[in-house]
Chain A
Amino acid sequence: MTKRLMLMLCAALLCGVFVAACGDDSSSGGGGGGGGASEESGTTEGAKVIDPGLAESAKGEVTYCQGKDTSGNATFMIEEFNKKYGPDLKAKLVEFPASADEQRTQFIQRQQAKSGDCDVFSADVIWTAEFASQKWLYDMTPYMEDKKAEYIEAPVETVTYDGKIWGVPETSDAGLLYYNTDQVKEIPATWQEVYEQAAQEGGIVYQGAAYEGLTCDYLELFFGAGGEVLSEDGTKSTFAEGDAAVKALTLMADGVKNGAAPKAVTTYMEPESLTAFQTGKPAYMRNWPYAYALNQKAKNVKDNFEVGPQPTFEGGEKAGILGGHNSVISVYSKNPGAALKLIEHIGSEEIQKAYAAQFSLSPVKAAIYDDAEVQKAIPFATDLRQAITQARARPVSPVYPQISQAIYKNVNAALAGQQSPEDAVKQANSDIDKALSTF
């Protein structure tokens, strides 16, 4: 009798398990309509659209999530918001880890769990397409209609996908070239000359580890050489078209081979390249604006470093990679009105000016750069605006993480001498195509 009982229990358990597994999935299976939906167009159809009027009557609590507030600007912004709009309206800051990958994971985890934890999220510029295609964000086009003109064009492009605007630019960032004035008087006209000089004396350091940073560094040369990663409609890879990819990669790989860049550059992320530059030995460093303030404190370089926008790629053009963050509103937010109010606050002139003058963050509104206080706080403000204006956005695609992996894995292999630049480019191209064919 007990044996039969045991068998029945097992059977019931298994049935239950199967039913649960099946049941669980019908919800996600049926939801998307018939299979084989078209690749690009219409993936954001039916997304929630923000009602700009909500901000008027906003009250209650709103949570703002971003990576670790190491500069202190977010805390400042929240304080100002609460001073201005409290006690009816209250903002709270939730900090994620410093690493961009971790922030993305944190946000995605919450969206998949349909949690309204984060009303507003400070999203890296490369995540817009991915989040929008998953319908995790409010469509902010109605809100941005009349405000677009105040912003520099490039950051607005980073928050545009499928013809709609999915957030509001907060801060910007552009790749810059730092140089040691003891060794270099000014940045030469072309990258080729930079590498030549570096090979003779000092060297150049940059982010060469197999991660997103390398995609940025490489694309700066690639775009400069006239390359395009994706076709107009974003469905095909044009990475290997023409010779831009190979030329750019060969310049970098040869740089490692002939000593212009140290071999260890293949493990450098931002901190390592910064530490290397601060020893005073390298002549050049490619890094983001944040490094300026840190260099001013480093004893070996503080009196003899300068920074400027990146040079032209010989036979091509100038390019830098656009970084920065956009404020996006989660569709699961319980208080979209308050979220909108907070975003309005971030975009206000006082906050944008404070971000630049007090915290050395790169503003997204053109007018701010001309302000006297800002010019004092960021001595290279004009250069910075130039860099941002000429900066290029990374490929916009819902599968950007995979595209980036395709680039950085193969570029890193070429830099480490494990693959020839031609092979690396071919492999990257086919990897990108594979990524684009992701269902």
Chain B
Amino acid sequence: MADATAHTGAPQKRRSRGLSEKGLAFWMVSPSMALIALVAAYPIIYAVWLSLHEYSVRQAGLSRWAGPLGLRNYTTALGNSEFWSAMTTTLIFTVSSVFFELLIGLAMAMAMHAAFKGQGLLRTVVLVPWAVLTVVTAIMWRTIFESPQGFVNQILGGDTVWLGSEPQALIVIIIADVWKTAPFMALLILAGLQVIPSDIYEAAKVDGATAWQRFRKITLPLLTPAILVALIFRTLDALRIFDLPYVLTKGANGTTTLSLIAQETFATNRIYGLGAAYSILTFITVMIVSFTYIWTVGGNIRGLAED
């Protein structure tokens, strides 16, 4: 239709309408692509390069190719029990924290959705944990759980050394992460809830559906896209968790995560090749999870890419 109307004007107008769609697309996309190549592609490729070499810790400037295929660092990493325990810890952390964040976030969202008074203030309150820096969150929870400043042992009784015991330290980290992120999940879900027109609920009520049925058959299905988006981002964030364990325990007592072991190997022990290999392995793990997501529920992304 646009073509037809354009034709009525002078023919030159169409040619001088500026760049064609494809040309414009190119110019609009390329600054981002160039920037991404610079800040993301280069470091990644360099990190892979580092992982294919061994750099001497004992002698300055000495390095060598890591084995026949450059994969010696990877075989070392994959054969290292510390790596696998970091992997397990990371997976346990991810599953637990995402699960609780979703649950609590959903509950909070439902509550906020139903409440009518002070919506704005409530939303601000809910965003406070998310607005607080991760480093600050770690300090905060450390002061809560650590005697003598902390009060947890006073309330719960007992003398558990929270940050110094095996499952307890990880539990504290999970609690800290859930506190920080559940509210954010709540907001994402709340946004999804608010788009659902209330007429559907009215109609369902008229049809005699119970609250639970309304929840299951209307709310959940309509919420699914919002939940999935939140889920993807949170899972990928949780897999890379670094700040909280670093500040709370420095990785002690079974809280070493993938990012932590990579950082310790690379920065503290200066074993660059192996550290880079750990980083790349972390990257691959995250990639696998994200591609699984995209494959199974990638409709959202495809939808974004569709015209």
- Any A–B CB pair closer than 8 Å: yes
Which residues of A does B touch, CB under 8 Å?
A: 2-3, 5-6, 9-10, 13-14, 17-18, 20-22, 24-25, 28-29, 31-33, 35-37, 39-40, 43, 101, 105, 108, 133-136, 209-211, 263-264, 266-267, 275, 398-399, 401-402, 405, 409, 412, 416, 418, 438-439
B59-70 interface code vs A (CB 8 A; 1 in, 0 out): 111111000000
B253 in contact with A17 (CB, 8 Å): no
B58 in contact with A267 (CB, 8 Å): no
The CA of A16 and the CA of B37, in the complex, are separated in Å by 10
**Residue numbers in B under 8 Å from A267 (CB-CB):** 146, 161, 163-164
Q: Which of B33, B54, B60 contacts A439 (CB 8 A)?
A: B54
- What is the distance, in angstroms, from A406's C-beta to the closest C-beta of chain B? 11
**Residue numbers in A under 8 Å from B271 (CB-CB):** 438
B22 in contact with A2 (CB, 8 Å): yes
B45 in contact with A33 (CB, 8 Å): no
**B292 part of interface (Cβ distance < 8 Å):** no
A264 in contact with B61 (CB, 8 Å): no
B166 in contact with A401 (CB, 8 Å): no
Q: A interface, by DSSP: helix, strand, loop or mixed?
A: helix
- What is the distance, in angstroms, from B79's C-beta to the closest C-beta of chain A? 11
- What is the distance, in angstroms, from A288's C-beta to the closest C-beta of chain B? 21
The CA of A13 and the CA of B41, in the complex, are separated in Å by 10
Q: Which residue of B lies closest to A112 (CB)?
A: B270
B161 in contact with A263 (CB, 8 Å): yes
A24 in contact with B164 (CB, 8 Å): no
B27-66 interface code vs A (CB 8 A; 1 in, 0 out): 0001001100100011001100100011111111111100
Given A29-B63, A43-B58, A43-B59, verify A266-B37 contact (CB < 8 Å).
no
Identify 7 residue pairs between A and B in the complex whose beta-carbon atoms are under 8 Å apart, listed by A's number: A28-B61, A29-B63, A31-B62, A36-B64, A210-B252, A439-B54, A439-B55
Q: Which of A5, A14, A399, A401 contacts B26 (CB 8 A)?
A: A5
B77-107 interface code vs A (CB 8 A; 1 in, 0 out): 0000000000000000000000000000000
A18 in contact with B45 (CB, 8 Å): yes
Given A28-B63, A275-B148, A439-B56, verify A401-B49 contact (CB < 8 Å).
no
**Residue numbers in A under 8 Å from B269 (CB-CB):** 399, 401-402, 405
B58 in contact with A398 (CB, 8 Å): yes
The CA of A107 and the CA of B54, in the complex, are separated in Å by 23
**Residue numbers in A under 8 Å from B62 (CB-CB):** 31-33, 35, 37, 439
The CA of A108 and the CA of B57, in the complex, are separated in Å by 13
**B147 part of interface (Cβ distance < 8 Å):** yes
**B208 part of interface (Cβ distance < 8 Å):** no
The CA of A136 and the CA of B269, in the complex, are separated in Å by 16
**Residue numbers in B under 8 Å from A439 (CB-CB):** 54-58, 62, 64
**B199 part of interface (Cβ distance < 8 Å):** no
**B23 part of interface (Cβ distance < 8 Å):** yes
**B268 part of interface (Cβ distance < 8 Å):** yes
**Residue numbers in B under 8 Å from A10 (CB-CB):** 33
Can you name 10 extra interface pairs (CB under 8 A) apart from A9-B30, A10-B33, A439-B64? A21-B46, A31-B62, A32-B56, A37-B56, A43-B58, A101-B268, A263-B164, A267-B163, A398-B57, A439-B54
A416 in contact with B63 (CB, 8 Å): no
Given A2-B26, A20-B42, verify A209-B164 contact (CB < 8 Å).
yes
**Residue numbers in B under 8 Å from A416 (CB-CB):** 164-166, 253
**Residue numbers in A under 8 Å from B60 (CB-CB):** 32, 133-136
Given A105-B267, A264-B147, verify A32-B159 contact (CB < 8 Å).
no
B63 in contact with A6 (CB, 8 Å): no
A13 in contact with B64 (CB, 8 Å): no
Chain B 115-156 interface residues, beta-carbon cutoff 8 Å to A? 146-148
B164 in contact with A401 (CB, 8 Å): no
A266 in contact with B164 (CB, 8 Å): yes
Given A2-B26, A17-B37, A210-B253, verify A28-B164 contact (CB < 8 Å).
no
Q: Which residue of B lies closest to A35 (CB)?
A: B64
Q: Which 3 A-B pairs have the closest CB atoms?
A: A32-B62, A267-B164, A35-B64
